[in-house]
Chains A and B, each alone.
Chain A
């Protein structure tokens, strides 16, 4: 047990050093090295989870052996461990499955730089997850932003540069607000460590001093992190960022990076400031309201979207709304549901992004209309994509169903809130079903049907020569289609594991909910 307490530190440092070493490796070596490190982190997090869950407690690890008010601390409990396991699993599977896409998205001899970013991002997420110190949290937020910016602009096309600039500007607004929030909190309490802050804040609440200032601090931190996570009114950068970049980047950004900020926010709410201060400030109602609006608006925007990957990105906005709605309800069940939704959405979204890449790369088109009958060509991807879509819509047996069930159950018994929450859940689910099942139906339209439609569209005054030319062109494009392709054993393995994990979340949700509840229980 004593040795296992080093594991959080090991995982953060392993990823950091891997990032440094990747800068001198060749591209294949960098890729395999990153995969190995991510796999190791997965095992370390798994071992930590097993231990902390059986142990039932949490521990504090002094960095550099300086005790509490002076040193920097890492805290490990089963919630942190399962979140770290989630991050490393998604990162490992994304790199494993999307590895082929790197070859044609990134300039030659620069592939190793991409893996620096992946490692840096994972390590900063792990640090945000484990840290017990708010200022360390801020520093790693910035590192994460920088890595995320790099991930967005790995494809060196014009739009990705503009998107990256926009992402940076909006993120800087968020981190500026968060930084001043931390500063004000430090001047109020005199501490930066989460557990010490909690003592001071409960003292402040007991005496009733500085109520206004505490509210301002909570507001600043919430808005700062909500901007970074991409909650509804601050979502403008999401569709471009997820829709433009490389497959691995989109998968990592949507399923882990935004969730890291939300996890930090949960830690700040329930561990640093305490539920009492949060409830007093009324910020939970704001989270709830914005979450509801995001659930509806994200789905409506996705419905109107013509581009395939951007549609999936818009659906992320709706899913982040679900999570904020759960946090906004504020009870233990609701936060458990929100955290479960973080996992369910993360695993589903990475599956969707990766399996959809074969259609977009294969058909050289981003449009949803061009998906028609591609399901027959890329059978396995289409099958996995459909399972992901079903999970997001909330079909039973899959992760999305359980999280919606938990969210709905947690909303019950909260007066007028419950009707709003349940109605929003229902409307958002229907909209989800409309736009996701539309793509699934498009994928499986029989081929003859599409050809007939095309023929009837331009029938009339075309003679044999143009017909022949057209056929030739079709053959050519068919050949072109077969050139790139994501299909290779590791891709199949990666998305298969993601599908299985989705089923695991749906079928064995009990133990996972137990872990989350236990982790939340020992948060204070």
Chain B
């Protein structure tokens, strides 16, 4: 049992982080906490990808000292995916933060439910 946990520690941590992040993004009312949840969720995926791509005792696939055997290196694709994923998550986070700023300027609150209520009220008043 302990061995199994030790062997899959990365995966277990990744799943736990994913669940925490997903829950945060779904259930938190505060926008900043939601965005933090989003980042935790994305990080969990990167951890999973990076740990799946890593093979004990092998190096990053950059030929330095003339070793051309593929068995000496790890698979570069997961690392590439992590980098792409980071770029995506940075841009999405930036967009969400800027939206949050706009929302705060308008309603003076970070609470999404409250802002939604205010917006609906505003809508009703205006007809």
Contacts and interface: CB of A to CB of B under 8 A. Distances in A.
A63 B106 CA distance: 45
Contact of B102 (A161, A169, A184): A161
A34 to B, nearest CB: 22
Nearest to A141: B88
A162 B95 CA distance: 13
Nearest to B11: A187
Given A139-B88, A159-B122, A164-B99, A180 B45 contact: yes
Nearest to B102: A161
B122 A158 contact: yes
B92 A172 contact: yes
A75 B127 CA distance: 49
Interface string A128-167: 0000000100110010011001000100001101111110
A168 B45 contact: no
Contacts of B119: 158-159, 162-163
A173 B99 contact: no
B112 A142 contact: no
A162 B112 contact: yes
B118 to A, nearest CB: 7
A377 B89 CA distance: 49
A417 interface: no
B84 A158 contact: no
Interface in A451-495: none
A176 interface: yes
A192 interface: yes
Nearest to B42: A176
B103 A146 contact: no
B103 A165 contact: yes
Given A162-B112, A169-B25, A146 B95 contact: yes
A366 to B, nearest CB: 8
B36 interface: no
B87 to A, nearest CB: 9
B81 A168 contact: no
B84 A168 contact: no
A310 to B, nearest CB: 10
A331 interface: no
Interface in A366-404: 366-367
Contacts of A183: 45, 48-49, 52, 81
B45 A179 contact: yes
A147 to B, nearest CB: 11
B53 to A, nearest CB: 9
A173 B26 contact: yes
Given A146-B95, A179-B85, A161 B106 contact: yes
A158 B85 contact: no
Interface size class on chain B is 35 or more
A162 B88 contact: no
B84 to A, nearest CB: 6
B115 A168 contact: no
B95 A149 contact: yes
Main secondary structure of the interface of B (DSSP, over half): helix
A24 to B, nearest CB: 21
Contacts of A145: 92
Contacts of A146: 91-92, 95
Interface in B13-55: 18, 21-22, 25-26, 31, 34, 38, 41-42, 44-45, 48-49, 52
Contacts of B49: 183, 186
Interface string B89-115: 001100110011011001100001001
B99 A161 contact: yes
B77 interface: yes
B62 interface: no
Contacts of B25: 169, 172-173, 176
Nearest to A146: B95
B123 interface: yes
A150 to B, nearest CB: 8
Given A146-B92, A158-B118, A173-B26, A135 B84 contact: yes
A252 B78 CA distance: 34
Given A162-B115, A165-B100, A142 B38 contact: no
B116 to A, nearest CB: 5
Contacts of B95: 146, 149, 168
Interface in A174-214: 176-177, 179-180, 183-184, 186-187, 192
Contact of A172 (B38, B48, B81): B38
A142 B34 contact: no
A522 B31 CA distance: 46
Contact of B107 (A149, A158, A173): A158
B92 A142 contact: yes
Contacts of B120: 159
20 contacts: A138-B88, A139-B88, A142-B92, A145-B92, A149-B95, A158-B119, A161-B102, A162-B112, A165-B31, A165-B100, A166-B112, A168-B92, A173-B26, A176-B25, A179-B45, A179-B85, A180-B18, A180-B44, A183-B48, A186-B81
Interface of B: 18, 21-22, 25-26, 31, 34, 38, 41-42, 44-45, 48-49, 52, 77-78, 81, 84-85, 88, 91-92, 95-96, 99-100, 102-103, 106-107, 112, 115-116, 118-120, 122-123, 127
Given A145-B92, A159-B123, A169-B112, 16 more contacts: A138-B88, A142-B88, A142-B92, A158-B107, A162-B115, A165-B100, A166-B112, A168-B95, A172-B25, A172-B96, A173-B25, A176-B45, A180-B48, A183-B45, A184-B48, A186-B49
Interface of A: 135, 138-139, 142, 145-146, 149, 153, 158-159, 161-166, 168-169, 172-173, 176-177, 179-180, 183-184, 186-187, 192, 365-367
